[in-house]
Structures are given as structure tokens and as C-alpha cells.
Copies of this chain bind each other. A is one copy, B any other.
Amino acid sequence: MFVIKIGLLGLGTVGRGVYNIINNEKGYYFQTEDNAPQIVKILVTDTKKDRGSELDYSLLTTDPDDILLDNSIDIVVAVMGGSEPELKYVLRALNNKKHVVTANKQIISDHMALLLQTAKENNVSLMFEASVGGGIPIIDTMQQLLKINRINRVTGILNGTTNFILSQMSQHRASFVEALKTAQEMGFAEADPTADVMGFDVSRKLSILSSLAYNQIIQDDDIYKRGIVSIDAVDIEMTRQNGYVLKYVAQSFLKGNKYYTLVAPALIKESTELAVVNNEYNVIILDGNIIGEIKISGKGAGQNPTANAVVGDIIYILEQKAPIEADFSNPISNGGIDGFHGKYYFRFQIDNSQQFSAAFDCVDKYVEKKDVIYQRGNLFFFTEDIPSSTALKIEKEINKICENIFFARVIE
């Protein structure tokens, strides 16, 4: 009997989930198919480490060549994380005519064109469903939609850690630092949360989705991003009083020959579809010119949902469905954030009357109509509709006068 053989690069959270679904009778496909694939080799850094009793330790190796040069291995599952050496291994696997399934958003975001081209040249598939939105089947859904539709807009809450933090702040009136600590204790945030709270993780995912949607490579570096670290409990309170929920939102859209991207905290109207997605859940909204708006939500991270996406890709390859083929020839360029505009919320700390009047003058210069609230040492503004570039100018000037600024756009 011919059996498809899988080599696993990495046995962290996701790798372990993949192993469990395939071997420990968790996945239906692997119980019922006679020729279900088998994991035959696993790359780890330490073969002696205790990894529980449900693992076949004889599969472990510290030598990547045991997988990359083994001609009997058909599919390489790359779930190590980080850029190197995973990128190098994936390229070698593709060049050795092995299909590759990966959850690594960093290498996909930074090298999607090269990796897809290398896969195509070697007549194998490169799949990366797990790189965006955990268990949400967004890459597959987008590939299907794009056969009929043009997609001109992508909106999402793409990071479970920051959505969890904001949900905690909202539900328990916690401060940012307290909510981050809870997220770390519950395993939703890393010890070093920089990539999450500064937007790097979100912008990599937005870069992958936007590149596929608009047929042009949109690098992570091209995406304007702002973190959520300056959000305070008073912002949550003030936005709630005005009928909004604070969310960390990724947006991109295509207009004419320009694309526009933005990763930033945003005020979302209560009881709308973005506002009700909480905790570790992610959501992605796509606008197709024929199908209209379609929205998918599910767990954005976690062992089982992410491993589900990886194993789904493996089955996709087994069933010999069409691999991801993307065309990056669309002649579009980065329009920066100039395409975005809206009402803005500003909050900054006021320590004395000089600051107060200087800050007021600054805002007056740029915004005609505004609602102003002064409360417990903070000045709050809701502006009229202004370009996002104007909001950045205001921030820059206020920064010279006051401390502790937070601002966010209202997404209507």
C-alpha cells in the first residue's frame, strides 16, 4: 500500500497539534482513509526532552537533511516560526520537489512571490492557510471567491492576543498593563508581546491577504501600522459612553491604481459585526464585486484551530486540488494612508492651563467642528470627518505639548 509520508519541521504548539490530529485519532479523515498519510520524521532541537507519552520518540531528529533529503517524504510541514532557518528549509524542500504546508506568516509575508514561484517551477504545492486567522479558512475562501469576484476591500480583526486584551479592558475595566498580564497568564500573549501590540503580527497577515486579493505583492513594510500600547482604561470608558467599542482593526482597499492600508486601533459602533467579535476570536470581511460582503469568524490562534488549518492543507494536497496560484502583475502602487478619513477620537493628558490652551489652539488649526470634553485631567475630542493624514499631523503637534496621547478613527 502506498502511503503519503510527511516530515514535520518543528514540534512546538502547532506541530504538536498536527501530530495529535494525525496520530491520536482526533481527525476523522485519518481514522477512515485506508491510505491516510503518516508523519515519518520530526525535526526538533532536542530529542531527549520529555514530550509526554503519546509521541513516538523514534521519529525525532536534529538533522533537517533527514527530512529535506529523504526522497520518500512527499510533504514537508514547516511549523518552526521565525524567519531563519525555516525559509531556507522551505526553499530546499520545494526545490527537492516536496509539497510544503506552513503556518509561518513571516516567511509568507516577506517572500510569497519567491516561494510560490519556486513551488510552481518544481510542480509542487505551497499552502499556508494557517498563516492567517488560525482556524478560519480565509485563504481557501479568498482563492475560491477570486475565481469569480474582484475583491477591493479587506477588513479584519487579525490578532487574538490584542483582541483578548481589548476585550478584557472592556469587560473588566482593566488597564492595558493588567489586561496584558492576564493574557500572558492565560497563554494568549507571549512573554515579549511586541509583535502583537505594535501591529507587526497584524500587518504581516494583512500583507498576505491584500497581496492575494489585489494581485500585487504588498510588503509588510508598505503597511502603515500603529500599536495599541497607549490605550488607557479611560479610552475604553469614553468610547463606550459614545456608543463605540475599541478594536484593533486591519484594513486595506484598492481604488484606481492605488492600494491603501492601515493597521490601527479604531472605534467601532456597538452591535455591528466587527464590534461583537471578542477575546481570541478573529474576523475577516471581504467585499466581492459579485458576491457582496462576506464575513468569516473563528478562533484566530491556538493549537487545535491552527493545526486544523495545517492538516486541512495537507488533505487539500492529497486530494490534488489546485494549488495556490497568485498573479502579482497588477500595476498598483502604495497610496499610503491618504485614502483613509473619518471622525477621530483624541485623548491627551493636560497638566496645566498653558498646555490646555496650546492643545486647543493646535486642534483648532486643523478641525473646524468638534466635541470637546475635559475630565479628570484629560482632554477628549471627537473631530468632524478629517483625512487620516490630518490626524497624524495633529498627533505630531500635540505630542510636543502634552503627554500620554491616544487617538483612533471611528469606523462607521
Contact = CB atoms under 8 A, between A and B. Distances in A.
Interface of A: 21, 26-29, 135-137, 140-141, 144, 146-150, 270-273, 275-277, 288-299, 302, 304-305, 307-308, 311-312, 315, 319, 321-322
Contacts of A277: 273
A296 B283 CA distance: 10
A291 B298 contact: yes
Contacts of A291: 135, 298-299, 304-305, 308
A29 B297 contact: no
Contact of A315 (B148, B270, B275, B297): B148
Contacts of A137: 141, 144, 294
A147 B312 contact: yes
Given A275-B276, A293-B298, 17 more contacts: A29-B147, A29-B148, A135-B292, A136-B294, A137-B141, A147-B312, A270-B271, A271-B271, A272-B276, A273-B273, A273-B276, A288-B308, A290-B305, A292-B305, A294-B298, A319-B321, A321-B321
Contact of A28 (B147, B276, B311): B147
Contacts of A146: 28
10 contacts: A21-B290, A28-B146, A28-B149, A135-B294, A140-B144, A144-B312, A148-B315, A271-B271, A290-B304, A291-B304
A277 B141 CA distance: 20
Contact of A148 (B272, B289, B308): B308
A372 to B, nearest CB: 28
A289 B21 CA distance: 11
Copies of this protein in the assembly total 2
A272 to B, nearest CB: 6
Contacts of A276: 271-273, 275-276
A292 B304 contact: yes
8 residue pairs, one from A and one from B, having the closest CB atoms? A294-B298, A135-B291, A291-B308, A29-B147, A27-B148, A292-B299, A295-B297, A290-B304
A298 to B, nearest CB: 4
A298 B296 CA distance: 9
A109 to B, nearest CB: 23
Contacts of A144: 137, 140, 312, 315
B148 A311 contact: yes
B147 A315 contact: yes
Contacts of A321: 319, 321-322
Contacts of A296: 294-296
Contacts of A135: 291-292, 294
A305 B293 CA distance: 9
Nearest to A304: B290
A21 B148 CA distance: 8
B293 A299 contact: yes
Contacts of A273: 273, 276-277, 297
Contacts of A288: 308
Contacts of A322: 319, 321
Contacts of A292: 135, 298-299, 302, 304-305
B147 A290 contact: no
